[in-house]
């Protein structure tokens, strides 16, 4: 059976139409893949840009934290220097108060040792070549005009109430608004006063 040339032409036309119909699908597939690659690329670029922004924020936060830490360290060092100076001042005051207390105790012992206007020290024999100097006599006032001196405990009742309750020296100092060294000094003076009674 022989085919006429028209059949060949129709078959070739059908093949051309089929190929033409298939061609756009083939072209669309690569463009779809290319579009996906472009989307992925764009997404990656956005992600990288966000990462860079986050990194810059973290770096600025770390720089701020370093600056804050340095400023805190400087202020703490200044406070330490100030506290050392205050401590040295309190130690000096403590020494001055201790010497005054010793002088007061000695003068109180000297006044207690006098009888009838004569000092007990006058009865002691002077060392060779040393002439004792007469001490100025205290003006005796009537007992009625001299009010009794309040004890250290009476002068600082709140401090001793807290200390007797078992509170620490730091707690007592904070509650009374005094310095720690001052509280220690008052407690020492009270112990000395009690032991001398």
Condensed to tens digits (0 to 9), the pLDDT of residues 150-160 reads: 888 888 999 89
Place of tokens 């032991």: 195
Q: What is the pTM of this model?
A: 0.31
The count of other CB atoms within 10 Å of the CB of residue 96 is 10
Q: How does DSSP assign 152-177, residue by residue?
A: HHHH-HHHHHHHHTT--HHHHHHHHT
d(CA 137, CA 120): 12
> Please, which residues have CB within 8 angstroms of residue 97's CB and are 6 or more apart in sequence?
185, 189
Condensed to tens digits (0 to 9), the pLDDT of residues 73-126 reads: 888 888 888 888 888 888 888 888 888 888 888 877 766 555 444 444 444 444
């Amino acid at each position: 059976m022989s085919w006429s040339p028209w059949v060949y032409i129709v078959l070739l036309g059908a093949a051309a139409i089929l190929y033409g119909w298939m061609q756009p699908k083939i072209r669309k597939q690569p463009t779809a893949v290319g579009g996906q690659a472009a989307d992925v690329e764009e997404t990656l670029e956005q992600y990288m840009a966000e990462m860079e922004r986050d990194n810059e924020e973290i770096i600025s936060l770390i720089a701020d934290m370093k600056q804050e830490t340095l400023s805190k360290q400087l202020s703490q060092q200044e406070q330490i220097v100030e506290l050392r100076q205050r401590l040295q001042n309190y130690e000096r005051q403590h020494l001055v108060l201790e010497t005054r207390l010793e002088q007061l105790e000695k003068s109180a012992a000297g006044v207690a040792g006098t009888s009838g206007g004569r000092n007990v020290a006058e009865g002691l024999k002077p060392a060779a070549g040393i002439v004792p100097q007469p001490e100025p006599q205290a003006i005796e006032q009537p007992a009625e005009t001299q009010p009794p001196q309040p004890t250290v405990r009476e002068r600082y009742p709140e401090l001793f109430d807290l200390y007797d309750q078992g509170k620490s020296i730091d707690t007592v100092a904070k509650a009374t608004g005094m310095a720690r060294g001052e509280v220690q000094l008052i407690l020492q003076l009270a112990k000395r006063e009690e032991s001398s009674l």
